[in-house]
Chain A
């Protein structure tokens, strides 16, 4: 099973700042199978990015993704108040899907 490790665990930032979230895999992951989700309290997760860098419908362009192999990044260019949430990366490989443990983006 591929293990995804996200860092940092918590990111304390102010609105308008840039957020950079990391997702590292225990073995190489195809970019086609790397996704990012946002989750707010009491809600189901929401798909942000698929294929490492493609935005899902309705996702603002301040959200972007990059990376390949074992290192992937989610960047939020300028944080809006509604962006403070928990973010998860997720991958598919070897007939199994796994999630990272999450990064919480909180208001500083």
Chain B
């Protein structure tokens, strides 16, 4: 079945970087964009950016420009999201999501989420 499986929980110190992976299966990896969305504890959803697995092109939310990098590895059908200069307020669950059935803009397939804790 179509699914996105993310890497495990991370604990980082302030100022460090984190790299989260999202492995796609059950469909043609290069045919569907993947988004990254995060959610701080008890808070709402925040869109971070999008990557086109076909050519690796990206668009990032203005808030994260210069600190986020999204890449992909077509040989393993995996996308990566790296966020640098982490702050404690960025403790959150980070999700990858794809618009598989209804187009790029409606996220119907979600990863299970990766908890990133930023703490000294």
Chain A interface (Cβ < 8 Å from any Cβ of B):
1, 32-33, 35, 37, 39, 44-47, 50-51, 54, 56-57, 88, 90, 92, 95-102
Contact = CB atoms under 8 A, between A and B. Distances in A.
A47 B44 contact: no
Interface of B: 35, 37, 44-47, 50, 59, 61-62, 95, 97, 101-108, 110-113
A56 B101 contact: yes
A33 B47 CA distance: 15
A44 B47 contact: no
8 contacts: A33-B105, A39-B45, A44-B111, A45-B95, A45-B110, A47-B108, A56-B106, A90-B107
A54 B37 CA distance: 23
Nearest to A33: B105
Contacts of A97: 35, 47, 50, 105
B110 A35 contact: no
Contact of A88 (B45, B61, B101, B104): B45
Nearest to B112: A44
Contact of B44 (A35, A88, A96): A88
Contacts of B104: 92
A96 B62 CA distance: 9
Given A88-B45, A100-B44, A45 B107 contact: yes
B4 to A, nearest CB: 9
A96 B59 CA distance: 8
A51 B61 CA distance: 22
Contacts of B45: 37, 39, 45, 88, 90, 99, 102
Nearest to A100: B44
B35 to A, nearest CB: 7
